[in-house]
Amino acid sequence: MAAGLIATPISRAQGEYLIWFRPQRVRTLTWGGNPFKAVEIGDDPSQLSPRQSFAKWYQVVEGTCDPWSAADEATAKLIGESVADVIQQFRSVRVLIAQDQLEQVKAKVRNSEQPVAIAMATGQMLQTNEAFDRLVPDSRSVASIADMLPLFTDRTEAEQQIEDLRELHRPWRGEVLLGTGDADPRPFRIRADPVLSSPSQILGYVFIFNDLRERRAADEARRRFQADVLRRHRMLDLPVDTPRDLRFRDLMTSLVGNAQLAALEITENPDMARVPEMLEGVQSSVSRTTELLEHLMWYATAMDYKTRES
Higher pLDDT, 208 or 52: 208
| 41 pLDDT above the threshold of 70 | no
So what's the pLDDT on residue 121? 92
Q: Are 10 and 80 a contacting pair, CB within 8 Å?
A: yes
**Which pLDDT band holds residue 38 (cuts at 50, 70, 90)?**
low
Prediction pTM value: 0.52
| 27 pLDDT above the threshold of 80 | yes
Q: Does domain 112-211 sit in CATH 3.30.450.20?
A: yes
Q: What distance in Å separates the CA atoms of residue 282 and residue 288, rounded to the nearest whole number?
A: 10
Q: What distance in Å separates the CA atoms of residue 228 and residue 279, rounded to the nearest whole number?
A: 11
Question: Which whole number is the average pLDDT over 270-277?
Answer: 68
Q: What distance in Å separates the CA atoms of residue 118 and residue 148, rounded to the nearest whole number?
A: 12
Residue among 149, 142, 84 nearest 117 (CA): 142
| Phi, psi dihedral angles at 112 (to 5 degrees) | -65, 140
pLDDT in tens, 101-159: 888 888 888 888 889 999 999 999 988 998 888 888 776 788 999 999 988 999 999 99
What's the chain's average pLDDT?
81
Q: What distance in Å separates the CA atoms of residue 38 and residue 303, rounded to the nearest whole number?
A: 141
Task: Calculate the CA 275 to chain-centre distance.
Answer: 29
Spans of all domains in the chain: 4-37+59-102, 112-211, 215-309
Stated as kind and residue range, the H or E segment containing 189 is strand 186-198
